[in-house]
Amino acid sequence: MADNFSSTVYHEQDADAAALDDETVAVLGYGSQGHAHALNLYDSGVDVVVGLREGSASWEAAEDEGLDVRTVPEAAKAGDIVSILVPDRAHIPVYNQVEDHLEAGDTLQFAHGFSIHYSQIEPPADVNVTMVAPKSPGHLVRRNYNRDQGTPGLLAVYQNVTGDAETKALTYAQKIGCARAGVIKTTFQEEVESDLFGEQAVLCGGVTELIKLGFETLVENGYSPEIAYFECLNELKLIVDLIYEGGLENMWHSVSDTAEFGGLEEGRHIVDDQVRENMQEALERVQTGEFARKWISENQCGRPSYHQLRRADSEHQIESVGEDLRGLYDWNDQ
């Protein structure tokens, strides 16, 4: 833990490799994260049980990998650590099948803290509640593990009734490969609120709106949709790759001087203080639970707004233009 970070960052040498020797881990779900956690734990020598609903299409696939597959209640009953790795919307129905099988001293674990932080699930007071969250889609967690590489992850403890909840969570993170890269200690609140804000303000909401507005501005001013698509969407990947590889400075170093000056000079006028104020308001809606209540209500009434927004986005001109242009690339067929 000698890293020069403001947060605590754990590595493999910080984990107690034997902390799960006498534990059975029940992995509930076999989707993106579930399959990666289950297989990585299994290959690391941990006793793993996978919990799925009867008739699940994943049942046979998990068994073919040599995993012990049971129904969700049966898996939860067998597990000392019960890791719920299904989408947020399925947390409550899955937890309802798990609750009666949690014993004092067991660990209830998540990869995202939404249900705990917003009190959708209120766990028993006599169990540990932890979170181990790889910062990557599951297929990359699995691929990196097989390449003897690591995937950075987050670790949080919400309830520590046995005194060793963090020790077990860190070992779990080690066994799935996260400690090879680094495991950052956080809290359920910080993970949830920062995650939702990042998705809304930058990664999913902010960037897609910026792309569409840039595209629309060029088209409305007489430029061809094809040129607008390349300039405002297609080339974004090149810029993001540069930023991912070495931060903003690497990107500025790699683009032309004209692009750098234009970006530095004009970018601050486009994404200005009004945008910052909008971001602050979005963060406050996350912090107060307003967004969570809206999303929960949206799911309860069949997602009418979600489907309307999704449909409108899919009908944007940029989608039809992009579909045609992507056909020009040979790699698209692959």
> Tell me, what's the pLDDT at 171?
98
Residue 177 is assigned to a ligand binding site: no
Q: Are 34 and 50 in contact (CB under 8 A)?
A: yes
> Residue 1 above 60 pLDDT?
no
What is the per-residue DSSP string for 17-44? Answer: TTTTTT-EEEEE--SHHHHHHHHHHHHT
pLDDT band, very low/low/confident/very high, at 310 (cuts 50, 70, 90) = very high
- Each residue of 39-52: pLDDT tens digit? 999 999 999 999 99
Residue 241 is assigned to a ligand binding site: no
Residue 231 is assigned to a ligand binding site: yes
Q: Are 179 and 150 in contact (CB under 8 A)?
A: yes
Residue 115 is assigned to a ligand binding site: no
Report the residue count for the chain: 334
Could you give all domains of the chain from N- to C-terminal order, each with its CATH number? Answer: 9-186 (3.40.50.720), 199-327 (no CATH)
Structural tokens at position 272: 């200005």
Single pTM value for the model:
0.91
- Listed in sequence order, the residues at least 6 apart from 213 whose beta carbon sits closer than 8 Å to its beta carbon are none
- Each residue of 185-242: pLDDT tens digit? 999 999 999 999 999 999 999 999 999 999 999 999 999 999 999 999 999 999 999 9
Cα-to-chain-centroid distance, residue 134: 7
> Residue 132 above 70 pLDDT?
yes
pLDDT band, very low/low/confident/very high, at 317 (cuts 50, 70, 90) = very high
C-alpha distances in angstroms, 300 versus 79, 116, 303? 30, 18, 7
Average pLDDT over residues 5-25: 94
Active-site residue identified among 11, 112, 253, 307: 112
Q: What percent of the chain has pLDDT over 90?
A: 94
Average pLDDT over the chain, rounded to whole? 95
- Listed in sequence order, the residues at least 6 apart from 152 whose beta carbon sits closer than 8 Å to its beta carbon are 134, 135, 136, 178, 181, 182, 183, 184
User: Is 101 among the residues known to form the active site?
Assistant: no
- Each residue of 324-334: pLDDT tens digit? 998 887 655 55
Residue 224 is assigned to a ligand binding site: no
> Tell me, what's the pLDDT at 329?
76
> Tell me, what's the pLDDT at 5?
78
Strands 183-185 and 9-10: antiparallel
